[in-house]
Amino acid sequence: MNFCNENKIPCNARGSAAGSIVCYLLGISNVDPLKFQLFFERFLNPERVSPPDIDLDVADKDRPRVIEYITKRYGEKNVAQVATFGIMKSRIAVRDVTRALGLPYSLGDQIAKAIPMNMKIDEAIDKIDEVKNLYYSNPDVKLVMDVSQKLEGVARHLSTHAAGVVVTPKELTEFLPIQNSSRKDGEVVVQYSKDYVERLGLLKIDILGLANLNIIKQSLRVIKKLYDKEVDIDRIDVNDPNPYKILRKGDTIGVFQLESEGMKKLLREMKVKNIEELSAVIALYRPGPMEFIPLYISNKHGFTKIQYMDKRLESILDNTYGILVYQEQLMAIANKIAGFSLGQADILRKAIGKKKLDLLLEQRIKFVEGAVNNGLQKNKAEEL
């Protein structure tokens, strides 16, 4: 981060690192965790089995410079980018199998387009009439789809992960198999995906190139040229009412995470007036939490009375109008209602975030027991 700052490369640390005041004081992250009630235990706690990582975003055009710096600092034989494996999904498998069997390209194209995105072949045969008719009426189609089903989920090719970089204390080859990248001469990638790199206990840094950070960099350059004014993007006034007026109109083309038509509509409906509400918009507008958006808007505008299952929830959820929006709120509920330590609450958070069913069931029992011991009725504890 020092290198980025010294070389005027726009950068940003995100994720659990924002809960560490040490990261904030060192200038690694730029959000005050005390002001925004972020928990250090999300970053590091005694119950956590894996070491924390710090995800970094940098301007996409400057990402190669950052990786070059890391490589020079730690040594060419100690730094490589992480691999990712392209998996044979249904439509890719169909096209590849058609080509391998020497059948016309148009046939593979017809089958692939009939299968909905991310739907498995057997499911498509069962649910999609066009696919079913093709399968049972054309022996070539049946052959292609039967072979393709056996290949679904198989690794198809190795490519370079968008963000992952691994740094090893000794030469890479003492820990990992490596190979030359097909993307760029002289670039090396390790032949393990990120999960296996982490399981080996190696340091993996996520450095993601973002075009929007480059847009901000160019915008600041234009402002300097036209108005002779230096703007420190980390010191802008988040309480300035003017940007929120623009957001409430939905004028957000080019604004990271806010430029889709659905998001524009939401900004207009929600009538965002401060940084807390803007944060909630971004957190809610994703699969799962989206179902709570109408209730959030209704509660915010006073169309419905905010209901709390337990009065202790009010202090945790009042700034989001009674809706559980953030992972930190979930941790606070586990802490206050079920008596979890914040370290234990982080295990529950991770189980929910990663959708680990066995861990979820285990945590559910502990949560209900803890909540009942803290005075909540069992049926309400189970509902919560």
Residue pair 293/284 in contact by the 8 Å Cβ criterion: yes
Quickly state the pLDDT bin for 252 (edges 50, 70, 90).
very high
7-39 burial string, b = 16+ CB within 10 Å, else e? eebbbbbeebbbbbeebbeeebbebebeeeebb
Residue that wins the pLDDT comparison between 139 and 254: 139
pLDDT tens digit string along 327-354? 999 999 999 999 999 999 998 988 888 7
Cα gap 324→292, rounded to integer Å? 9
pLDDT tens digit string along 193-202? 888 888 888 8
Helix (H, G, I), strand (E, B) or coil at 378: helix
- Residue 372, pLDDT above cutoff 90: yes
pLDDT for residue 37: 87
Domains of the chain: 2-80+162-168+192-212 (no CATH), 89-153 (1.10.10.1600), 241-300 (no CATH), 326-383 (no CATH)
- Residue 50, pLDDT above cutoff 80: no
pLDDT tens digit string along 280-314? 999 999 888 889 999 999 999 999 999 899 999 99
Give start and end residues of each alpha helix (H) in the chain. 2-6, 21-25, 63-74, 90-100, 105-114, 121-127, 129-137, 139-151, 194-199, 211-227, 241-249, 261-270, 275-284, 293-300, 314-317, 327-338, 342-353, 357-373, 378-383
pLDDT for residue 169: 92
Quickly state the pLDDT bin for 381 (edges 50, 70, 90).
very high
pLDDT for residue 187: 77
Please name which of 150, 117, 113, 146 lies closest in space to residue 130, comparing C-alpha atoms.
113
State the pairing for strand pair 155-167/79-87.
Answer: antiparallel
pLDDT for residue 51: 72
pLDDT tens digit string along 2-41? 999 899 899 988 888 899 999 999 989 988 999 888 999 9
Helix (H, G, I), strand (E, B) or coil at 46: coil
pLDDT tens digit string along 80-123? 988 888 888 999 999 999 999 999 999 999 999 899 888 899 88
Tell me whether residue 319 is exposed, middle or buried, using C-beta atoms within 10 angstroms of its C-beta: 0 to 12, 13 to 18, 19 or more.
Answer: middle
Cα gap 64→70, rounded to integer Å? 10
Q: In the block, which residue shows the tokens 């929600």?
A: 270
- Residue 153, pLDDT above cutoff 90: no
Q: How far is CA 203 from the centre of its chain?
A: 20
Residue pair 147/138 in contact by the 8 Å Cβ criterion: no
What is the value of pTM for the model shown?
Answer: 0.74
| 87 DSSP β-pair partners | 155
Tokens, residue 331: 């941790």
How far CA 252 is from CA of 102, 215, 217, 259, 262, in Å, comes to: 49, 14, 18, 5, 11
Cross-sheet strand order for the sheet of 178-180: 11-14, 55-59, 203-210, 155-167, 79-87, 188-190, 178-180
Residue 200 has a CB neighbour count (10 Å cut-off) of 13
Quickly state the pLDDT bin for 159 (edges 50, 70, 90).
confident
Question: Greatest CA separation found in the chain?
Answer: 71
